[in-house]
Amino acid sequence: MHSRTFVHGFTAALTVALTLVGAQANAAPGSGDQLLAARVVTYDAGASAEFKAAVDRGAAIWNESVDAVELRPAAAGQRANIRILADNGWPRAMTTSLGNGTVYIGREAVNEGYNTVRISAHELGHILGLPDRKPGPCTSLMSGSSAGVSCTNPYPDAAEKAEVEGNFGAAPARPTAVARDAVIVD
C-alpha cells in the first residue's frame, strides 16, 4: 500500500513539474512509456496589414487539423519562427528550414479574387513542409491557385494533415518516462 502511494505521489509530482516548466504533454497513440509535446512554431503577423485576421484564422485551421505542431503568435519581444508580410506581389513562402521562414500575403492574388484565409493556410502549409500540388482539386489546400478563384476551402485534406504530422511527429519532442503502478519490495 505504501509503495502504491509513493508511485502515485511521484506521478503527481512529475505532472506538476512538467506543468511548471511549461511542457505541453500529449500521450503518444499506443504508447504509455513516453509523453510527446507538440512542437510550438511562433509567427509574427505584425506586418501582415489588412490580412492579420486571415493569417490568424489560417494558423487556427492548422491547429485544429494537426496535433504534432502548434502555430502561436509570438509574444512581444520574442523572435518568431515565421514572419508574415503583406505586399503587392503574388503570395509566396520562403522557407529557411522546417517550421521557419517568411510568408508574403500578396495583394495580387487577393485583387484577382482569391480567398485570403485559403491563401494564409496554404502559405503556412509550405512552412510546415508541404509542396504545391498543382493542378489539384479544391479539396487539396496545397493545390493553391490551380483550384480557381471560386475555391475558398482553407482546410488541408487527410494526406496533407498526415504529411505535416509526419514532418513534426517523427521524433518525440521530449521523451519522459511515465511512472507505472509497481510494487516495490523493501
Q: Is 11 exposed, middle or buried (0-12, 13-18, 19+ CB in 10 A)?
A: middle
Q: Which residues pair with 39 in a beta bridge?
A: 69
What is the Cα–Cα distance from 150 to 175, expressed in whole angstroms? 45
List the chain residues with pLDDT less than 70: 1-37, 170-186
Reference 154, options 38, 43, 65; nearest CA is 65
- pTM equals 0.73
What's at 133, amino acid-wise? R
| Catalytic residue (one of 70, 108, 112, 123) | 123
Q: Which three cell numbers stand for residue 16?
A: 506538476
Q: What is the pLDDT of residue 170?
A: 55
Q: Is 123 a catalytic residue?
A: yes
Distance of CA 148 to the CA centre of its chain: 26
Q: Are the CB atoms for 132 and 160 separated by under 8 Å? A: no
Distance of CA 170 to the CA centre of its chain: 14
Q: What is the pLDDT of residue 6?
A: 40
